[in-house]
Amino acid sequence: MAFTDTHETSRYGGGRPAPRGGGGWHRLGNALKTTVLLAGLTALVLVIGQRLGGAQGLMYAGFFAVVMNFGSYWFSDKIALAIHGAQPLPYEQAPWLHQMVERLAARAGMPKPKVYILPTRAPNAFATGRNPQHAAVAVTAGILDILDQRELEGVLAHEIGHVRNRDTLIGTVAATLAGIISYAAQMLFWFGGSMLSRSDDDEGGGMAGAFANLGLLLVAPIAATLLQLAVSRSREYGADATGAELNGDPDALADALLKLERGSELIPYDRAPATSHLFIVNPLHRGGVMGLFSTHPPIPERVRRLREMGMRAGGARGRGGWEYAY
């Protein structure tokens, strides 16, 4: 499959220096929010372990969470790429795309990620990898059809922003903790009769303790899912800001998001829904109440923030700096 350079030329020259980032307070607030949310997920895992097995259950829950997080983090890139059938994109088939990724990575102060192609008409992209030294950027065949070069550069800057911000680590930890909680609830659904009441019977809690455990196990997976989604949404805002800083053109990403939203509605991509949080826009068909459980913030809100950044950047460029409208 060959990809020729049929895209429009970016409005900014490829050799411009990387903009000097502002937005430090925004990134600090985002990091603090993520820390609190991840702490909430970890607490849910430990509480469930303690309720089911006392001190021993607490120890097992903590150990299991550490092991699962380590395994998921270490192999997350290979798993995500294999699930979606991603293939390495040879340099000679799309030199302009490789050069774009290399240019953005240089501005981010990191090695050039590997470039992959997903053989689907659904327009989307994602980044993966445990750190900038082991990163990969994947684009679908569909995204190359609908975006011009300027918009595509905005998308790639967003994905490289994820890598620079270590969002793969954060997303992996959040997804793993949420998965542990959901798995525990499923196991207890099938084998839970005696387990729900055993520890509380031993402690004299009786039926009241069993109902308390049951309530926890019903509510915990929902709470874990909501916390995971909150982590994912906050990281998308952060990657939008970082990508706009790297690319120097917030409106390019805003224009791309609007096209991608329409494209994902026309051609939804439901392969491996558990990995939907990786993509720049939600690849699943959304409707009704399910929008509340989206892994991504609303596109109109993301576009609004980027448009404001673009307006502020017009004046900031003349002063050699950036101001973020967050």
Q: Catalytic positions, please? A: 159
Q: What is the Cα–Cα distance from 41 to 226, expressed in whole angstroms?
A: 10
DSSP state of 21: P
Residue 96, Cβ neighbours under 10 Å: how many?
13
Pairing assessment for the beta strands 125-128 and 114-118 based on DSSP bridges: unpaired
Q: For residues 245-264, b (16+ Cβ closer than 10 Å) or e, as one string? A: bbbbbbbbbbbbbbbbbebb
CA dihedral angle for residue 162, residue 163, residue 168, residue 169, rounded to 10 degrees: -120
DSSP state of 79: H
Q: What is the Cα–Cα distance from 100 to 139, expressed in whole angstroms?
A: 13
Q: Is 32 exposed, middle or buried (0-12, 13-18, 19+ CB in 10 A)?
A: exposed
The amino acid at residue 225 is T
